[in-house]
Structure 1
Amino acid sequence: MQADSDTAPQSPRAAIHPLTVRIGHWINAFAIVIMILSGWRIYNASPLFRFEFPDGLTLGGWLAGALQWHFAAMWLLAINGVVYVLYGIFSGHYRRSFFPLSPRVIVREFANTWRGRLSHQLGSYNAIQKLAYLIVILLGVVLVLSGLSMWKPVQFQGLAALMGGYDGARLVHFFAMAGVVGFFVIHVTLVILVPRTLLPMFTGRAPRAHASPNSEP
């Protein structure tokens, strides 16, 4: 005899991260790390400011090698990013995960963070997380557009002109990269501080006691 749906035992683990989101997340992470390290080697070949990145933190060995790594990771990031964004829009993932988001809620969450009361529930983003993810998605778009402006300044001269020419595009690219690095550092730090958030990004599931009731199906 089949148990009534109201009394049937529930799985002790809830689904919180769809497979597409998990795959996209790890591909993005891999591509971004490659682009950052190879980008630092490219920067060292012609620094914008009076500092260089330590050779041990760069990838490519020399300018040509770094460019090869950078472009390979760029195509991976761009293709995966398009798939990830389209999925997020048409599946409703972005709508469910990142909205609604209001300035008042953001200010309140920053105040809670200052008091050491930042809210966090697996499968649900607080206002600061929503804002950070939206910003890093925009930064990714800026990185690709500014990178195209530097790679093909003649073919994409209109785009390059919007960024102040080749030199302006370099500055835009550098500061967008700095923003992504900042996000990456904060993101990894929070994972270290709250390690239970890591495993669900592999399995897609988390204990129901820690999962949001609004987790994705």
Structure 2
Amino acid sequence: MKQIKEKHSLAMRWCHWVNFPVLTIMIWSGMLIYWGDDEYKFTLFGHTFFKFFPDWFNTFFNIPRRLSEGMAWHFLFMWFFILNGIFYVAYTLISGEWRELAPQKKSFKEAWLVLLHDLHIRKMAPPQNKYNAAQRIAYTAIIIMGIGSAITGVAIYKPVQFYYLVWLCGGYHFARIIHFVLTLGYVFFFVIHIVQVFLAGWKNFSSAITGFEVVETKPAPIIEKKHDEEKS
């Protein structure tokens, strides 16, 4: 027997689908800004193994000499990013959705089992409610990363006016490093998240759009009533 079940609220879906293009624009515009001072690279014993980002990469994505354009886009969409994040956190706290998202004591152990199941090494997946253990950890980490990006971003943008945020981040240079690492973390999360969507199938993806999913339920047992042997 099939039954329609609500899975994601309108507010959760709204924040999810708004955040995706906003964060994509933030990453893209951030790369245009980073081109102006691309100092990060992997160097060992005086030899540079990798530079963020190679010249061929910048040329392919048409990044060079677009610093002012990147700043304009970045500083505009940061407000959408921050406001959407505030609304999302406020909603989860007020509605009680945080209980489904916050990791539990057993989440870190079960997250490993979820990974083994996704890699088809383990047959049985650990029991879950709305979100599994790996999702709880990942979605909570994204919230913390978003807060970190907002704090470090403001510290980099206005280091004099918000000197206390610069101090909190360990200085201007370290705030920029954190901001850069968090951006790489978003890209990594995007890749894993999209792969997980493909593995989960269309049913899981459609529920993130409509908010509902069709589930199979067992029919309720039929209780037979006793009848008189003789019918009038």
Structure 1 Cα separation of the partners of residues 188 and 216 of structure 2: 31
* Pair 1:98–1:59, CA change in 2 (3 A): farther
* Pair 1:119–1:108, CA change in 2 (3 A): closer
Residue 14 of structure 1 aligns to a residue whose secondary structure is strand
Residue 47 in structure 1 maps to residue 22 in structure 2: no
**Higher RCO (C-alpha under 8 Å, 6+ residues apart):** 1
CA shift, 1:63, in A, is 0.7
Match among 122, 140, 147 for residue 153 of structure 2: 147
Residue 206 in structure 1 maps to residue 216 in structure 2: no
Is the Cα contact below 8 Å between 1:35 and 1:70 reproduced in 2? yes
| Amino acid paired to 1:193 | L
Render the CA deviation track for 1:177-204: whole Å, top value 9, x for unaligned: 1111111110011112223221111100
Structure 1 Cα separation of the partners of residues 211 and 39 of structure 2: 42
Where does residue 184 of structure 1 map in the other structure?
190
Structure 2 Cα separation of the partners of residues 206 and 93 of structure 1: 18
Is the Cα contact below 8 Å between 2:58 and 2:64 reproduced in 1? no
* Pair 1:119–1:43, CA change in 2 (3 A): farther
The equivalences for 1:76-155 within 5 A come to 76-102=80-106, 103-113=108-118, 115-117=121-123, 119=125, 124-155=130-161
Residue 100 of structure 1 aligns to a residue whose secondary structure is coil
Residue 216 of structure 2 aligns to a residue whose secondary structure is coil
Where does residue 35 of structure 1 map in the other structure?
26
| Larger gyration radius, structure 1 or structure 2 | 2
Structure 2 Cα separation of the partners of residues 37 and 136 of structure 1: 18
Is the Cα contact below 8 Å between 1:98 and 1:125 reproduced in 2? no
- Identity rate of aligned residues, in percent? 31
Which structure shows the higher strand fraction? Answer: 2
* Pair 1:172–1:201, CA change in 2 (3 A): same
CA shift, 1:35, in A, is 0.5
CA shift, 1:100, in A, is 3.2
Moved more, 134-143 or 122-131: 122-131
Aligned length: 201
* Pair 1:67–1:117, CA change in 2 (3 A): farther
* Pair 1:190–1:60, CA change in 2 (3 A): farther
* Pair 1:140–1:207, CA change in 2 (3 A): same
Structure 2 Cα separation of the partners of residues 205 and 123 of structure 1: 15
Gaps of 5+ in 1: 1-9, 211-217
Gaps of 5+ in 2: 41-50, 218-232
Structure 2 Cα separation of the partners of residues 122 and 107 of structure 1: 14
